[in-house]
A and B are shown apart, each in its own frame.
Chain A
Amino acid sequence: MQKLLAFLGFIFCVLTLYLTSSNTGMKWITRDRYSRVGAFGADKYIYGDLYGLTYLSQFKKVKDTNFVSLPAIDQKSNSDTANLFILGDSYLYSFFKEDPRYYVGINQVQFIRWSVANPVEIIPSKNKKNILLIESVERNMSGLFNLNSVKARLDRAEAVQSELNTRQKIAHFFAEIDEGIKEILYHQSLEANIEFAWFNFGFLEPLKELKADFNLNFFGRVDKEVAISKDQNFLYLAETLNPAHVGSSFSDLSEAQLKSHVSELNAIQEYYQAKGFDEVIFSIIPNPVSVLKTENKPDNLLIQRIKSHPDFKGKLIDATEGLSKNAASNFFTSDSHWNQRGAKIWLEQLNTQLKN
């Protein structure tokens, strides 16, 4: 009996480790879980990624993703075509993926996500116009919008650091061995994968909500990654409200910092234009809190200040103004992203830019 128990325990744990350590295994678990409804199926994302972090019952609302469809551009107008390369995040990828039908004058889109594990070499076509769109949400902008960071994603050759002294090279060498071993033995997202495999079931949601509601109502706190807006209508990523965090809409932004951002953007533009891109367009998606204005605090106006900076030589898509009109209808209440309507406002601005 004990042997049988030990055997079953062994099989269960080995299976867990095997499936959660492989991308194929996780795809299988995810697909299976999402295909089911009810107790043994679960999809926390249909209620929003921030609900998935907090499990607050008051924010358990199915995201309405159908209330406005994104415009597809008439393909006939795409006869004079260009290639669009996008380095961006989920704000664009979740809505547009690599579909050229959304963009004016574009017949091919290549999307590289900031989270890409290895650099993806993008090669501008010699026969067509090449446009590079570099996009990030405001909270991540300062860490991503610099030449090294962009090169690390888009330039296979350039990604290797070349200016290392001997000591750094030795450290780099050992760090690479270390990373290599870790990659083989421990999947990067193992903890999250196990959590998903073991606990992401519909029948556990009431318990999760009970804990979340208890913590909120009795202890007055929510998951540390999330904050509730002052008007109680929206969930935000907590870092976007924390002035001590560089990506916060309320952090201090000195003139020197601003100048540094601008010079990085100019450097990126110059570098990629020299590599054969006809146009480099930047886009910073405002943090929802910057647009929704629920906190009654002045924000640092990062996007507007970059756009109007006298030294800035590039093109910047700033959808803040468009998003601010009837702002509450442009964002999900329990998700860190904009909704279809918000995405459409941004897209219209990009297409105006592309037409020009």
Chain B
Amino acid sequence: MVFNSLQFLVFFGIVTSAYFLLAHKYRWALLLLASCYFYMAFVPIYLGILGLTIVIDYFAGIYLERFQGGAKKIFLGCSLLANLGVLAIFKYYFFFTDNFNFLANYFSVPVHFPVFNFLLPIGLSFHTFQAMSYTIEVYRGNQKAERNFGIYSLYVMFYPQLVAGPIERPQNLIHQFYEKHVWDTDRVKSGLLQMMQGFFKKVVIADRLAMVVDPAYANLSNQSSLNLIIASIFYSFQIYCDFSGYSDIAIGASKVMGFKLMNNFNAPYTAKSIPDFWRRWHISLSTWFKDYVYFSLGGNRVSVPRWYINIMIVFILSGFWHGASWNFVIWGALHGLFQLMGLTLNRVFPHLAADQRHSVAGIWLYRLFTFLLVTIAWVFFRIPKFGDIQIYFRQITQGTFSEPISLAFNTHELLFSMVLIIGLYLFDLKRDKIKVDSIQLFWPIMAVMAFLIYFFGVFNMKQFIYFQF
């Protein structure tokens, strides 16, 4: 079930109202049932796979708490193996066998693995990482093993963040299922407003920009340099609005019921450097990698070369997390390289960097440069085939800037899209300084937002980009 559908509105209405009508002790069961229903709207049978890993992790958690030493490590290993095994089969099997067979063929090795291309369970990487987070935290002693199987299942399956995050930590979420959330009008209004903001980002901005981006990327060889530049910038904002729109709806829907999910975005395109970008973009994933991979590798408390290697490992893994395809690996590696370049420059020219950050022009220069690097990296994220990536760079460097823009929009809609992007950027930039009592103005704001979403929305029920991960 996609958030940008009427089915979801009905579902949300039923679940939320029933949540407040039910006695506290039954609420977790309601949410669990609702989450199963929500998930089964995609591929029902994959609920079985999710159920299998839930059972394994549930018992692993209990045994992790009960045992110490080597046995504890074995249980952690079993849990991670189960989770990573499911990922390996459904997400990476095709990639590995395909690449292995290619190499075997190239070197004339008479080995051939059978190639299966499974239909990827929706949101697999998200709920797998959330489940792994649980067993790792229990292993580290930061989280008590959950004894209530239903509550543990709900932790993995909580519908608002089940298929595209935020990837929660057990310390933040599990205890909330035990807390009694009473109706708080201000909180409900705040949650609904955040949902509205998410819908606006998705159907007014992201799906509108997709109308330019999709045909341009589908037909790269016929695009002028200018077309591709516009499409690339639009894609940067499309993916931002698409994903952060989803997060807003998820966080808002949870907030209405009294749950507080972690923030996933914080005005990422106002970042002044690549590390700053990653503190603002998909925060729940970047902190996951930081906590469980980067720190485990030693973080920055190692020699400089090793530190750089750690950074590269984390970013390449992050790319690989997104998809079993070389373009995602390159995307991750590029971000890693940008980080290393930044670190090296800061070490070589420390004064220059500090001066630039203190002047307004310097700050904007850094913002612009960071956005440029991120946008270049998105090209690899967006285009899966190497041949097409080559075409993209060939077309964009051929210097056809004087040709008239031939995108799917007319001039009015192009300008309107730019106004939306600038408006969003300014909103992100000044969000903390905007002093509007949105709770007091709840009804007028909701009415205006609803009208704007209807009037300027593009209603094609386009799936969220991050659902594929």
- Cross-interface CB contact of B40 among A6, A13, A185, A218, cutoff 8 Å: A185
Interface majority SS (helix, strand, loop, mixed), chain B = helix
Q: Judging by beta carbons under 8 Å apart, are A178 and B412 in contact? A: no
Residues of the B chain whose Cβ atoms lie less than 8 Å from the Cβ of A20? 10
Residues of the B chain whose Cβ atoms lie less than 8 Å from the Cβ of A191? 5-7, 461
Given A12-B13, A219-B412, A181:B7 Cβ within 8 A: no
Q: Judging by beta carbons under 8 Å apart, are A181 and B44 in contact? A: yes
Residue of B nearest to A204 (CB): B454
Query: Is A214's beta carbon under 8 Å from chain B?
Result: yes
**Residues in B lying within 8 Å of A, measured CB to CB:** 5-7, 10-11, 13-14, 16-18, 20-21, 37, 40-41, 43-45, 183, 185, 409-410, 412-413, 416, 454-455, 460-461
Can you pick out 9 interface pairs between chain A and chain B where the beta carbons lie within 8 Å of each other? A2-B20, A2-B185, A6-B21, A178-B44, A186-B41, A198-B6, A207-B454, A218-B413, A224-B460
Q: Judging by beta carbons under 8 Å apart, are A10 and B18 in contact? A: yes
Query: Is A14's beta carbon under 8 Å from chain B?
Result: yes
Residues of the A chain whose Cβ atoms lie less than 8 Å from the Cβ of B409? 219
Q: How many A residues touch the partner, as a band? A: 20 to 34
Interface residues of A in 205-233 (CB under 8 A from B): 207, 210-211, 214, 218-221, 224
Residues of the A chain whose Cβ atoms lie less than 8 Å from the Cβ of B14? 10, 13-14, 17
A14 to B13, CA, bound (A): 9
Q: Judging by beta carbons under 8 Å apart, are A219 and B7 in contact? A: no
Residues of the A chain whose Cβ atoms lie less than 8 Å from the Cβ of B5? 191
Top 8 A-B pairs, shortest CB-CB distance: A13-B13, A10-B17, A181-B44, A9-B17, A194-B6, A220-B410, A6-B17, A219-B413
Residue of B nearest to A8 (CB): B17
Q: Judging by beta carbons under 8 Å apart, are A13 and B45 in contact? A: no
Q: Judging by beta carbons under 8 Å apart, are B45 and A178 in contact? A: yes
Min CB distance B264 to A, Å, is 27
Q: Judging by beta carbons under 8 Å apart, are B412 and A181 in contact? A: no
A195 to B10, CA, bound (A): 11
Residues of the A chain whose Cβ atoms lie less than 8 Å from the Cβ of B461? 191
A158 to B455, CA, bound (A): 49
- Cross-interface CB contact of A218 among B11, B183, B412, cutoff 8 Å: B412
Residue of B nearest to A7 (CB): B21
Query: Is A174's beta carbon under 8 Å from chain B?
Result: yes
A7 to B20, CA, bound (A): 9
Query: Is A22's beta carbon under 8 Å from chain B?
Result: no
Residues of the A chain whose Cβ atoms lie less than 8 Å from the Cβ of B41? 182, 185-186
Query: Is A345's beta carbon under 8 Å from chain B?
Result: no
Q: Judging by beta carbons under 8 Å apart, are A195 and B17 in contact? A: no
Q: Judging by beta carbons under 8 Å apart, are B6 and A195 in contact? A: yes
Q: Judging by beta carbons under 8 Å apart, are A10 and B21 in contact? A: yes
Q: Judging by beta carbons under 8 Å apart, are A7 and B17 in contact? A: yes
Residues of the B chain whose Cβ atoms lie less than 8 Å from the Cβ of A181? 40, 44-45
Residue of B nearest to A20 (CB): B10
Query: Is A150's beta carbon under 8 Å from chain B?
Result: no
Query: Is A16's beta carbon under 8 Å from chain B?
Result: yes
Q: Judging by beta carbons under 8 Å apart, are B44 and A13 in contact? A: no
- Cross-interface CB contact of A2 among B11, B43, B183, B413, cutoff 8 Å: B183
Chain A 151-166 interface mask (CB, 8 Å, partner B; 1/0):
0000000000000000
Interface residues of A in 12-49 (CB under 8 A from B): 12-14, 16-17, 20
Query: Is A355's beta carbon under 8 Å from chain B?
Result: no
Query: Is A274's beta carbon under 8 Å from chain B?
Result: no
Residues of the B chain whose Cβ atoms lie less than 8 Å from the Cβ of A210? 455
A195 to B43, CA, bound (A): 23
Min CB distance B175 to A, Å, is 24
Residues of the A chain whose Cβ atoms lie less than 8 Å from the Cβ of B16? 6, 9
Residues of the B chain whose Cβ atoms lie less than 8 Å from the Cβ of A7? 17, 21
A194 to B10, CA, bound (A): 9
Q: Judging by beta carbons under 8 Å apart, are B13 and A9 in contact? A: yes
Query: Is A177's beta carbon under 8 Å from chain B?
Result: yes
Beyond the given A6-B183, A214-B455, A220-B412, please list 14 additional residue pairs across the A-B interface where CB-CB is below 8 A: A3-B21, A6-B18, A7-B21, A9-B17, A10-B13, A10-B17, A12-B13, A13-B17, A178-B45, A182-B40, A185-B41, A191-B461, A194-B7, A219-B410
Query: Is A144's beta carbon under 8 Å from chain B?
Result: no
Residue of A nearest to B45 (CB): A178
Q: Judging by beta carbons under 8 Å apart, are B45 and A3 in contact? A: no
Residues of the A chain whose Cβ atoms lie less than 8 Å from the Cβ of B11? 13, 17
Residues of the B chain whose Cβ atoms lie less than 8 Å from the Cβ of A267? none
Query: Is A258's beta carbon under 8 Å from chain B?
Result: no
A156 to B416, CA, bound (A): 54
Min CB distance A55 to B, Å, is 12
A234 to B252, CA, bound (A): 44
Query: Is A120's beta carbon under 8 Å from chain B?
Result: no
A224 to B214, CA, bound (A): 14
Q: Judging by beta carbons under 8 Å apart, are A177 and B45 in contact? A: yes
A195 to B461, CA, bound (A): 13
- Cross-interface CB contact of B416 among A6, A17, A207, A219, cutoff 8 Å: A219
Query: Is A327's beta carbon under 8 Å from chain B?
Result: no
Q: Judging by beta carbons under 8 Å apart, are A185 and B37 in contact? A: yes
A343 to B105, CA, bound (A): 61
A224 to B207, CA, bound (A): 13
Q: Judging by beta carbons under 8 Å apart, are B21 and A185 in contact? A: no
A12 to B14, CA, bound (A): 8
Q: Judging by beta carbons under 8 Å apart, are B10 and A16 in contact? A: yes
Residue of B nearest to A198 (CB): B6
A177 to B45, CA, bound (A): 7
Query: Is A190's beta carbon under 8 Å from chain B?
Result: yes
Residues of the A chain whose Cβ atoms lie less than 8 Å from the Cβ of B183? 2, 6
A68 to B14, CA, bound (A): 50
Min CB distance A201 to B, Å, is 14
Residue of B nearest to A208 (CB): B454
Residues of the B chain whose Cβ atoms lie less than 8 Å from the Cβ of A13? 10-11, 13-14, 17
Residues of the A chain whose Cβ atoms lie less than 8 Å from the Cβ of B18? 6, 10
A191 to B461, CA, bound (A): 10
Residues of the B chain whose Cβ atoms lie less than 8 Å from the Cβ of A3? 20-21
Min CB distance A327 to B, Å, is 31
Given A178-B45, A182-B44, A211-B454, A190:B7 Cβ within 8 A: yes
Residues of the A chain whose Cβ atoms lie less than 8 Å from the Cβ of B454? 207, 211
A83 to B413, CA, bound (A): 57
Residue of A nearest to B460 (CB): A224
A181 to B40, CA, bound (A): 8
A224 to B210, CA, bound (A): 13
A178 to B7, CA, bound (A): 19
Residues of the A chain whose Cβ atoms lie less than 8 Å from the Cβ of B10? 13, 16-17, 20, 194
Residues of the B chain whose Cβ atoms lie less than 8 Å from the Cβ of A2? 20, 183, 185
Q: Judging by beta carbons under 8 Å apart, are B7 and A6 in contact? A: no
- Cross-interface CB contact of A174 among B21, B45, B455, cutoff 8 Å: B45
Min CB distance B5 to A, Å, is 6
Q: Judging by beta carbons under 8 Å apart, are B412 and A6 in contact? A: no
A207 to B454, CA, bound (A): 10
